[in-house]
Amino acid sequence: MSHHHDDNKRRFWITGASSGIGHALAERLAGQGDHVAVSARSEEALNALAAASGKVTAHPLDVTNREKVHQVIDAIEAEGPIEVAVLNAGAWFLMDAVELDVDKVRQAVEVNYMGVMYALEKLIPLMKERGEGHLVLMASVAGFRGLPRSLAYGPTKAALINLTESLKPELEKFGIHVTVINPGFVDTPATQDNPFPMPDIITADEAAKHIAKGIDKQKVEIIFPWRFAVAMKLLRILPYRPFYWLMRRIMSQ
């Protein structure tokens, strides 16, 4: 059943909406008449989104700034409740184990994981008070297993998947839905320079279409594209011996 009706527009907050998937999702939702508050560091990109649609309001922030995250949530809530929060801001780093860069690892943890936490600590009490709300966490199929050169990024996404599993049964009692998004490869500024093949890669707009539909259905998990998703689901349950055999093969390609 769809929870979206033409006469019942919703109020969204999307972080990481200045480019890529978040940007495409903001455009899509505003295009169908929903109100969308957009956040990221790049103020200009957010202002351009707002200038293009009367449904969009720009709220620049750095998600690693806890106080600022709370201030932005207050500012959006002053205009009306955040019904759906899409916590999508994320940073992708390739890193070799033999070139471990702890500062970059900390940055990935602070943006991808703590950035979500700062939003949650403010949003959960608000949504609990209202007895409704929808929290949407952007993880990745890269969080299913540890992957070569993904040591700074993969664990933050694994943590978000685990976090969703932890939150969902607790929060549904208060009418709060929790959804995790696990995309495969999406063509965005983040993946543009990847030095490896990206099977089944889709556009940011296609990703946004999957996400909008999944949010509408209040799905527990939004995962796409289907073929790569199935492969990653299988990889997730593969025993260690065949898993490492496969990883060695992938690395020697």
Ligand X SMILES: NC(=O)c1ccc[n+]([C@@H]2O[C@H](COP(=O)([O-])OP(=O)(O)OC[C@H]3O[C@@H](n4cnc5c(N)ncnc54)[C@H](OP(=O)(O)O)[C@@H]3O)[C@@H](O)[C@H]2O)c1
164 in contact with ligand X (CB under 6 A): no
Residues in the chain, total: 253
Known catalytic residue: 153? yes
Subset of residues 230 to 249 that bind ligand X, contact rule: CB under 6 A: none
Distance CA 253, CA 251 (A): 5
Spell out the alpha helix ranges (H) of 136-223.
Answer: 154-171, 204-216
Distance CA 217, CA 219 (A): 5
Among 91, 116, 137, 212, binds ligand X (CB under 6 A): 91
Q: What share of the chain is helix, strand, coil (3-state, %, to 5)?
A: 50, 15, 35
Three-state DSSP state, 5: strand
- Which one, 17 or 158, has the nearer CB to ligand X? 17
Q: Closest distance between ligand X and the C-beta of residue 34, in Å?
A: 19
- Which one, 57 or 140, has the nearer CB to ligand X? 140
179 in contact with ligand X (CB under 6 A): no
88 in contact with ligand X (CB under 6 A): yes
Write out the two tokens for 125: 């009490």
Amino acid at 70: H
63 in contact with ligand X (CB under 6 A): yes
- Which residues lie near ligand X (CB under 6 A)? 15-22, 40-42, 62-64, 88-92, 111, 138, 140, 183, 185-186, 188-191
Residues labelled catalytic: 153
